[in-house]
Structure 1
């Protein structure tokens, strides 16, 4: 019997050694705790994860080593509840919790807690691992999805930035974000957009930011502009060299990270985020923001191309193809806009309708190509006689329309005669001129100018007639 007992003992010792070897070589941290909350086992991976050696950890209170202070009370309540009732709703389940390492850095872990089989007082063990990289990857995917969705529906970069800051800030766990950019040729950055996770958070800081202009090298956005590289601070409130440090201190903002946005190798601005916690962003977070910033630059480039194409299409839709003047639609839009200003400010406004005399005869004699050439030359010549604020348009065929803002009828008549006198190739034209009476509609004003044009043509052509007030 003694021999068999010795074999059994040897076999058990071998199993124990094997289990110990598995635990010590595991890629996951292994921690065991007794009923009093003290560490009784701690493998090498636990040391690598939390920074405490086995010798330092065993015998210490587990909660003091790895549980964030705000969760320790809940830990003790749960442990006492299990010891009193035997109920452990978290035992055997895969959990995602927060932990801290020796330096105080907080990070997410995944673990499963089990009770070790024992006839004595309860003991608990858990295999666990750091899931920071997985969480960051998930946040990166959420952030990428957020900015993709925003840029897909935006018409301009400025329009997109509000949604981009919100999507990226929420995905990465920041509390405030800002977009800094500049007008072409400007020597300072301005804050164009601010997002806050809570409307009650830091309104003063938002106002200070929106009213601030930063030269290259000044503040985090200015440093990013000057260097072309991300910049960050563990606590903006503690750095008096940063322009908004006092506002940050008053509003509870601390850690900050800023990254440049480049589009086609040109600096377009910077995104900046703030946290209510202190501490420099870790390398993974900085890499994610840099990746997102690069992608944003590409999106901005695509948005610029689309905006340029839309602007070109809009211009084509409002431009006469032959003369390159505004077309009838564009002129009517300009007329309604100027009428609204004239009503609001009580300033004068005149319009003229011009028609080339005997243009059909010119076409029949010289051909349609020559007629087209004459129309182009007339458009160019007449345009040169006018102010940049005046609107000369091709109304249709050989008829043109002219809008003269801020000029009373006498000055408008002088300008109209100057235009008619400049008509090239000996061509003549007739014109009807009407002054806005302060209350009529655009259609009524055009009708009066048209009636005056008809009167000029009926009176022998090559002349202008001023419409009588209130007479269509």
Structure 2
């Protein structure tokens, strides 16, 4: 899936969501401006333009309602494009090129590029057609005699008002596009580092964070421990209650883990029903106490599904970062050490499974020392 396709997904900031927001703001602003223009043109007895502005206000109010109800978004956008082109062309024809109404047509191509049309095969001809149309309007109406001759002071005021308004709109659009890029970058970063089901760090993210933590702890000689947690008989939960119940059990376990660790600890879904907890500045004894709290809470926190209560247990393997006799000059030490740290916790976990589950098991060397 391309980046553009990703941004167009309903759950991602941007795409249609951003376009709806833009259209709502344009509808409100355009309605206010057209009301002002209608009053102005009635005052100077330019009835055709006054009537056109009244219809424009009704159009933008209709567009606002449709966008709020999330209906006919593309048709609303096309109606706005037609309104801007027709209105600008008519105003230039009646009042002359010096009135500055042609500036509004220049706003359409950049907005087209973020319109709901996904295919460039549609967008490119639309943008190209809009550019050709603007050139034709320029060619035909720049030197044409206007139908209504306005005072030079009023004509200059209209020209600069339209120019400033379009420039402000361009700045607003640029700011909107910038926020879209920043928000989508943050969203994509979150999607790349977060497990969608539980909201925890995913495996890739915790590996990167753990490597930095290990380097720091080695440098300062601080303890660091890892918990490898596995839900017991999780396949049986899926088989008996269904995958929806299994998802709830996983989310419940992730909540228990978050509640029982400190703010600076790292909790991640390692894969399937396995979860990894990285405990910085935590020796083995303290890690064992954390693991015991987790084990007890999950045992006492059933998941309710319909009329059933699903009780689960967890087996936890624990390992501690070895600090003695390690060279700090080895460039690849952090990655290797993290893999070894996880491997030892994993070995302890499977030893706990072999011993009957629902227990805590220290890595083999630590278990001997204790």
Q: If the TM-score is normalised by the length of the shorter chain, which range does it land in?
A: 0.3 to 0.5
- Largest Rg, 1 or 2: 1
Q: TM-score, normalised by structure 1?
A: 0.36
Quick check: which one's strand share is greater? 1
Greater relative contact order, per chain length (Cα 8 Å cut-off, separation 6+): 2
Quick check: which one's helix share is greater? 2
